[in-house]
Amino acid sequence: MPDDRIEDQIHRLNLAVERFEASVGPLERHSFLAKLNGWSPRDILAHLIGWNYQVIEGSRQIQLGELPFYDIDPGENYSKVNEALVRRFRSTDRQVLIQELHSSARDLQKYLESLEPEAWAKDFGVRHGGSTVTIRDTIEELIEDYNHHRRQIEDWGQTK
């Protein structure tokens, strides 16, 4: 269940970003670039950078009563969206990507802090798959995505 305050959710998002970064930071270069179930930790990092930016645009669309662009024909498990993000953020330099992660997370935080408090959890009438789409729930899904991918990388590191 999402926290009741936007400040709490922003804090949890920042913590998820920090923990994710800590999971990719110590990886050797070959491990950073090696595929893990079709994705490398580099690919995962690139897709999360992109999602930080996309959530800003998608949240603006939600406030207009529109379905976020990434929910329109996203492919199975957002495969089309994720593939485009992996191509967009194509560097293989971990430091370059981590700097971009910080920048994108900072931009997302600034955006969230600029929201009118009532907009955060408001039902703007947007539905997807029969569910109400809110900014709060969108951020909650992003936090879950960071945590899921961090656990994947940590588990992968333990099996090597």
What tens digit of pLDDT does each residue of 81-97 get?
A: 989 999 999 999 999 99
Lowest mean pLDDT among 14-18, 68-72, 73-77, 117-121: 73-77
The per-residue pLDDT for range 96-136, each reduced to its tens digit, is: 999 999 999 999 999 999 999 899 999 999 999 899 999 99
> Does residue 157 surpass a pLDDT of 70?
no
Position 19 pLDDT exceeds 80: yes
Cβ atoms within 10 A of the Cβ of 83, count? 13
Question: Does the pLDDT at position 2 exceed 60?
Answer: no
CB 44 within 8 A of CB 35: no
Q: What is the pLDDT of residues 44-69, one digit of tens each?
A: 999 999 999 999 999 999 999 999 99
- 79 contacts 27 by C-beta, under 8 angstroms: no
Confidence band for 1, pLDDT divided at 50, 70 and 90: very low
Output phi, psi for 138, to 5 deg. -65, -45
User: If you ran DSSP here, which 8-state letter would residue 36 be given?
Assistant: B
Q: How far is the first Cα of the chain from the last one, in angstroms, to the nearest whole number?
A: 34
pLDDT score of 78:
86
Position 74 scores a pLDDT of 76
pLDDT at 32 over 80: yes
